[in-house]
């Protein structure tokens, strides 16, 4: 089969590789659509340490089952499916507590680090275990189904933050995940949804998708404007979708006393954290890791038209052109949000 392989850092090759062998509990999926994730773009240069070459990346995908393992049940050839990005252990303590995203020895598709290597979906075929599969509704396309993973990441964050109707919420970072957080906050019935970013184009899209107020993070007096919109208190919640010191500090500063800050971004492994502000204002700060059972809800939201994933798809292109699209995303080409590749 053909695959897009990261042979060396910043160097891709579209080449012939062996088709994956299917274990008894796995299915073989013919990939129809696969998205380039920001973590793939950040990882291609070696800066994250989680895309060690040679590697077939790709974990946001959908396709059609072409073969099933000997112990697979309730799935058959021809089923249209998408799948979780995390391969977790079913007999793990965390999984039994309903926290499969924290499962010990979990593996992420398309990731290669010091602990493991698992080839992903930038290929004609990918093998995945049956317990991470989800059936695609009839009115959801393969391209839309390849967008379920990032929406589920956003929904998992909301499941932890538990926003309430009419809450005032700040979203720091209007990239892919931040834009889905904004849409989901609107679905949840939040009142003021304030988007903050450096990119005016992203802020324009944020307004289109549900943000009631949009601010450039370099705007003087930003903190005062948030106070004016929130009765002088600050937002009830903030969702931080970047992961650097400045944006985390901004998220903490934007919430009221007793507010909640949920961290999704993790560009920096360590940050300068505003500890005194958190302690003296009794702020709840929590991390949100990946996905934990949100796929069915996301598929229904897309099928019902409540979450618009099409608005974030900038381009669809053949997998053979993947290296060029990776470079364009890496160089932050203006106007590019999500690129979907077609094997």
The one-character DSSP state at 245 is H
Confidence band (pLDDT; 50, 70, 90) for 166? Answer: very high
Q: Evaluate if residue 267 carries a pLDDT over 90.
A: no
Q: What is the pLDDT of residues 180-206, one digit of tens each?
A: 999 999 999 999 999 999 999 999 999
Helix axis angle, 148-161 to 176-187, nearest 10°: 60
Q: What is the pLDDT of residue 270?
A: 93
Fold of the CATH domain 154-287:
Rossmann fold (3.40.50)
When the pLDDT of each residue in the chain is averaged and rounded to a whole number, the result is 97
Confidence band (pLDDT; 50, 70, 90) for 282? Answer: very high
Residue whose pair of structure tokens reads 């809800």 in the numeric block:
297
Q: What are phi and psi of 300, to 5 degrees?
A: -65, -40
Measured between alpha carbons, how far is 188 from 167 in angstroms, rounded to an integer?
9
- Residue 2 is encoded by which pair of tokens? 């053909």
Give the mean pLDDT of 216-235.
96
Task: State pTM to two decimals.
Answer: 0.96
Measured between alpha carbons, how far is 335 from 341 in angstroms, rounded to an integer?
17
Domain boundaries, the chain: 2-147+309-342, 154-287
- Residues composing the chain: 343
Residue whose pair of structure tokens reads 């993973």 in the numeric block:
149
* Cβ-proximal residues to 304 (8 Å cutoff; 6+ apart), any chain: none
Q: What is the pLDDT of residues 58-97, one digit of tens each?
A: 999 999 999 999 999 999 999 999 999 999 999 999 999 9
- Centre a 10 Å sphere on the Cβ of residue 220 and count the other Cβ atoms it contains: 7
User: Which of 219, 223, 189, 217 is CA-nearest to residue 202?
Assistant: 217
Homologous superfamily assigned to 2-147+309-342: Medium-chain alcohol dehydrogenases, catalytic domain (3.90.180.10)
Helix residue ranges, H only, 126-231: 142-145, 148-161, 176-187, 200-209, 222-229
Q: What is the pLDDT of residues 98-126, one digit of tens each?
A: 999 999 999 999 999 999 999 999 999 99
Same CATH topology for 2-147+309-342 and 154-287?
no
- Residue 151 is encoded by which pair of tokens? 């929406």
Say whether the peptide bond before residue 92 is cis (omega within 30 degrees of 0). Answer: no
Please report the sign of the dihedral spanned by the C-alpha atoms of residue 153, residue 156, residue 160, residue 166.
positive
Q: What is the pLDDT of residue 339?
A: 98
The percent of residues in the chain predicted with pLDDT above 70, rounded, is 100
Give the mean pLDDT of 301-325.
98
């Amino acid at each position: 089969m053909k695959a897009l392989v990261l042979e060396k850092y910043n160097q891709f090759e579209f080449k012939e590789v062996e088709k994956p062998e299917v274990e008894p509990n796995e299915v073989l999926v013919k990939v129809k659509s696969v998205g380039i994730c920001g973590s793939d773009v950040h990882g291609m240069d070696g800066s994250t340490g989680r895309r060690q070459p040679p590697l077939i990346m790709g974990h946001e995908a959908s396709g059609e089952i072409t073969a099933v393992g000997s112990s697979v049940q309730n799935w058959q050839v021809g089923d249209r499916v998408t799948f979780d990005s995390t391969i977790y252990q079913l007999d793990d303590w965390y999984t039994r507590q309903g926290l499969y995203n924290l499962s010990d020895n979990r593996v992420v598709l398309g990731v290669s680090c010091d602990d493991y290597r698992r080839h992903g979906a930038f290929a004609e075929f990918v093998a995945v275990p049956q317990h991470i599969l989800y059936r695609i509704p009839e009115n959801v396309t393969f391209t839309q189904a390849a967008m379920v993973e990032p929406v589920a990441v956003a929904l998992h964050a909301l499941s932890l933050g538990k926003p309430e109707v009419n809450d005032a919420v700040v979203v720091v970072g209007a990239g892919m995940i931040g834009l889905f957080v904004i849409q989901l906050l609107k679905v949840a019935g939040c009142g003021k949804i304030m988007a903050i970013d450096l990119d005016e184009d992203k802020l324009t899209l944020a307004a289109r998708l549900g943000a009631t107020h949009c601010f450039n993070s370099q705007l003087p007096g930003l903190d005062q404007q948030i106070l004016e919109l929130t009765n002088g208190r600050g937002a009830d919640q903030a969702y931080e979708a970047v992961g650097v010191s400045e944006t985390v500090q901004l998220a903490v500063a934007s919430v009221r006393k007793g507010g909640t800050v949920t961290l999704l971004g993790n560009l920096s492994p360590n940050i300068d954290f505003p500890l005194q502000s958190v302690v003296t204002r009794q702020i709840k700060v929590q991390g949100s890791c990946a996905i934990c059972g949100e796929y069915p809800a996301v598929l229904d939201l897309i099928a019902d038209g409540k979450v618009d994933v099409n608005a974030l798809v900038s381009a669809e292109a053949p997998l053979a052109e993947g290296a060029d699209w990776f470079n364009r995303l890496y160089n932050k080409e203006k106007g590019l949000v999500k690129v979907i590749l077609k094997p």
